[in-house]
Chains A and B, each alone.
Chain A
Amino acid sequence: MQYLLLIGLLFGFTVQAKTITHEMGTLELAKTPSKIVTLDWVLTESLLALGVTPYAVADSDGYNQWVVKPQLPSQVKNVGSRREPNLELLTQLKPDLILMSSHLSPLYPSLQAIAPTMVLTVYNKKRDPFSQAKKVLNQLAIVTAKENIVSQLIAEAEQHIQNNGSQLKKAGKSVRPFFLVRFIGDKHIRIHGTHSLVGQTLTMMGLTNAWQGSTNLWGFASTSVDKLALSQQANVIYFGPLNKTDKAKLFSTPLWQAMAFTRSKRVYELPPIWAFGGINAAVRLSDTLTEALMGTSKNALFPR
């Protein structure tokens, strides 16, 4: 009898149930979850960066269009909208773990009833998305048993971003400040400040953000195109996709034509980058930015 107990205890130790604390409570995991559902694109992106393929995600089509990389394998199931993921489908999929952000907090009890749920938020009032993204990645690594690679992954990513920065510095491309924008139609822009993920990436690369105005929780300001004129010596970096009609309209206006950055051809288009993403999006920005300014192509760092 005593031996049996001892064996049982030993067995118990080897399985080692993990208790994980997250933003809205604690989580007991008996084993490493294999069927993971993510309801937020930044969490999907982070999971893929760790080399874990989610079982199902919210709005997979949207992910493929706006986040683009790391690519989502086609077998990953879709559970509907990011705001109202289909609870019935979730129940039937019987996931081991659900990952959500605090922007969905009213949903937490319902999700908790379906499967163990973890709340991880990158974009919050701290307005420090890069550090938050690192924190989230670390927590995800603990849950998915990827602790062994995560610190190296983060260190490499940071190093990579810095290297890109110094490459630009060496080539003398880091003197001017940068505008990081997304065009909304042909007259308006969303312009990213220093508290945004892309803004922080810029800082890590040793570059200066030209936008000094105030921004919202997500680190951007909505404004009109003419505000770019206030710092015409800057380079303009914009993320796709910008449709052809708007592009033609915008770029042919006298105001745009008159700006110094247009005249000396310092406007660069980057491919779609999820400006509300995580570490991967930051690396992707620094890569594509370096490519655009240097005219070279890069090897992708992610996914491994």
Chain B
Amino acid sequence: MTNLFYSAPLTRFFIISPQLVLWLVVLSLISGSIFLFNLSANLPLDLVWQATVAPDENDFRQIIYFYSFLPRIAIALLVGAGLALAGCVMQQVLSNPLASPTTLGVAAGAELGLACALLLAPSGLAIDPDWFAFIGGLLATGLVFLISARKGFAPLQMVLAGMVISLLFGAVNRVLVLFNDQQLTSLFIWGAGDLSQTDWQNVTHLLPQIAIPFILLLLFQRPLMLLQVGEQLASSVGVKVGTIRLISLTLAVFMTTSIVSTVGIISFVGLVAPALAKLAGARQFYTRLVTSAIIGALLMSMADLVIQPFSGVGGELLPAGAITALIGAPCLIWLLLRNPLSAVAKVVSEQPINIKQYAFVKLLTVCLVIAILCTAIALLVGKNEHGWAVQLTNSILTLRFPRVFAALLAGWGLAVAGCAIQRITANPMASPEIMGVSSGVALMLIVGVITGIISSRGEQLLFGSMGALLAFGIMWLLSQRSRFSPSQMVLAGIGLSAFLDATIRILLTSGTDQAKAILHWLSGSTYLATNMDVILLLVVTTILLSMLLLLHRCLDLLTLGEAAATGLGMNCQQVRLWLLIIAAILTTVATLVVGPLSFVGLLAPQLAKLFGQYAARNQLVIAGLMGSIIMVVADWLGRNWLFPWQIPAGVLASIMGGGFFLFLLRK
């Protein structure tokens, strides 16, 4: 063991595989030629030297080259390297090859901070809004650390917490955007990560913020390297694992927040670059750190250089950040399929929280009464011009009826789908939202709307189900390799929701009305719900719930694990497939009405368990009722809180649900 402590001969660090060298050369050649191509389009090559050394202020080509083109390349290289470094460190420290800067909530926190700065800070304030973004990012990551501290920063716990914080902060941000879209236009461009520069200031500002942590990390490389051999081993040779983790993670987070607050949200470089470095044969931490940085820098500059000539076509920006997410998300899923990740593929042990066991019938009665009460209040009580009032007029009831019942049924459907998914995957943290199924639905619908293929509800249902099944298909493939490992599911979910997020961000930078209309639907507004929707939801949800109730024994068996279920004579593959299809359709119809994010599918089954309903049949019924209650309350609050403005039910449900989920994680 002792030889781990002796410093290896310096030359060993520089032994890089020929494969790696080849990779780097190819990447550099591609970047270089795109660079030359873009350059020659803007500036005659014989002027390059002069423009670099002493630009002629009277020649606009030289001005653009020196103050815009060059700093943009520099910032791309710097940002790519910085994010790759941060990603590499996080992956090492969390022993999770799929951790990355964006998965720890940094981006969402920074975005919320910036939105607050733009809305709340008085315009004369001398504080740079970047600082708000910085503080927001740190705050979000701080929360993630706090939540996962109890479990000793367990990788899955951290990634999950990061994802939920991202969704939660994203929901709050969504509310701000819906009410202030004019003021927040700049946030849309920032959020999509456009790298345009007007001077060297960002470069000089970022350079030390990345270089200093990098040097510090190099000083830490030996203890960090030891983490690779395993936590127990590392601590047995005297490494203070906790301290090392905390310091290096803080450095990584610092780098990320600096970058994000300066240039905007850029996803996946921090994930893909270290993964590529590993693939290219960089085994040791030190080599991997340096190689990741180089690959990250090259990837980022390449992406930005490739899209630059296309930006402006049709009057729209093409921001590098969102484009990297569009490329990065499929990369993530590909990596997941390649990598079985046995080290982190542990199922979260379920600790029943001590709460009194309630008899099913008693609980059912209480839930039913509450559900009926809530529905009655939601239908009859509301605000008008003069304040609160009980309204019984026909015209008001006709308006409220579809909204209340759409919320009720969507909540029901999502809760039941959530139950099924949690049972199928034997994973208590699974849900349509977290597994990216809802994102799959939303993506297909957006594509359908933009291309003009979708016009009727039936087509929406068809497209949405296709999206859901596609998402499930990916999960299915993954599950074959990892036996439904929670971390795989969560990460694939992150990939899909990042893909959706990038699509939305690109749409939003266009600033058009169509994009904002899509945003409203994505936020889960029941505004446009009709009686037809209610009938559709009622029929589909009732039929599928009955099917699930008939299959309740299968659901119970699946929870026992595949071996036990097979032993008892069940064809696990086939049963799972059918259950997945049912869950897909349920998710689709509910998502059509309340949008892709609400956390109801996660929250309601958990609540049912909290009240002691472990048997599949009981859980399905109670969770369904609770899901309905949550959505009806969210919809009612949303309609009345800021009257006459309305907050979409989905957003409110996800703020309530996200908060509760974080509380569960903390337990």
Interface residues of A (CB under 8 A from B): 62, 65-66, 77-81, 83-89, 91-93, 103, 106-107, 110, 113-114, 184-188, 190, 193, 213-218, 220-227, 229-230, 232, 241, 243-246, 250, 253-256, 258-260
Contacts and interface: CB of A to CB of B under 8 A. Distances in A.
A81 B63 contact: no
Contacts of A241: 123
Given A217-B512, A244-B124, A92 B384 contact: yes
Nearest to A242: B123
B510 A222 contact: yes
Given A84-B520, A184-B189, A226-B198, A91 B396 contact: yes
B11 interface: no
B64 A224 contact: no
A91 B391 CA distance: 12
Given A187-B198, A241-B123, A244-B124, 4 more contacts: A91-B396, A114-B395, A214-B315, A224-B198
Interface string B492-520: 00000000000000000111110011001
Given A83-B520, A88-B399, A89-B385, A223 B312 contact: yes
A78 B179 CA distance: 14
A28 B297 CA distance: 65
Given A91-B399, A214-B314, A222-B511, A81 B201 contact: no
B311 A223 contact: yes
Contacts of A258: 57, 63, 67
A190 B511 CA distance: 10
B128 interface: yes
A245 B198 contact: no
* Residues of B in contact with A, size category: 35 or more
B199 A88 contact: no
A254 B315 CA distance: 26
B558 to A, nearest CB: 41
A224 B196 contact: yes
A187 B129 CA distance: 14
Contact of A226 (B67, B201, B513): B67
Nearest to B312: A223
A256 B511 contact: no
8 contacts: A83-B517, A89-B644, A103-B513, A190-B511, A245-B128, A246-B186, A253-B199, A255-B64
Contacts of A215: 315
B660 interface: no
Contact of B512 (A110, A218, A243): A218
A304 to B, nearest CB: 28
B424 to A, nearest CB: 36
Given A83-B520, A89-B385, A258-B57, A185 B182 contact: no
Contacts of B513: 103
Contacts of B400: 88
Interface string B105-141: 0000000000000000001111011000000000000
Which of B124, B182, B382, B644 counts the most chain A CB atoms within 10 A? B644
A126 B443 CA distance: 30
Nearest to A218: B512
A81 B646 contact: yes
Interface in B516-558: 516-517, 520, 525, 527-528
A207 to B, nearest CB: 21
Given A87-B399, A216-B314, A244-B123, A80 B64 contact: no
B516 A213 contact: no
B182 A62 contact: yes
A226 B196 contact: yes
A221 B194 CA distance: 15
Contacts of A81: 178-179, 645-646
Nearest to B124: A244
A213 to B, nearest CB: 6
A288 to B, nearest CB: 19
B196 A225 contact: yes
Contact of B125 (A184, A220, A245): A245
Contacts of B520: 83-84
Nearest to B389: A92
Interface in B561-610: none
A227 B129 CA distance: 25
B311 A245 contact: no
B199 A254 contact: yes
A230 B314 CA distance: 18
A224 B517 CA distance: 25
Nearest to B639: A88
Contact of A253 (B57, B198, B316, B511): B198
B60 interface: yes
Nearest to B60: A229
Contacts of A230: 60
A22 to B, nearest CB: 19
Given A187-B198, A245-B129, A232 B60 contact: yes
B643 interface: yes
Contacts of A65: 182
A209 to B, nearest CB: 14
A223 B525 contact: no
A3 B203 CA distance: 90
A103 B125 CA distance: 37
A226 B385 contact: no
Contacts of A93: 385
Contacts of B186: 184-185, 188, 246
A254 B197 CA distance: 11
Contacts of B67: 226, 253-255, 258
Contact of A188 (B189, B200, B516): B189
Contact of A187 (B64, B196, B315, B395): B196
A67 to B, nearest CB: 11
A214 B313 contact: yes
Which of B201, B509, B645 counts the most chain A CB atoms within 10 A? B645
A241 B124 CA distance: 13
A165 B515 CA distance: 36
Contact of B201 (A66, A188, A213, A253): A253
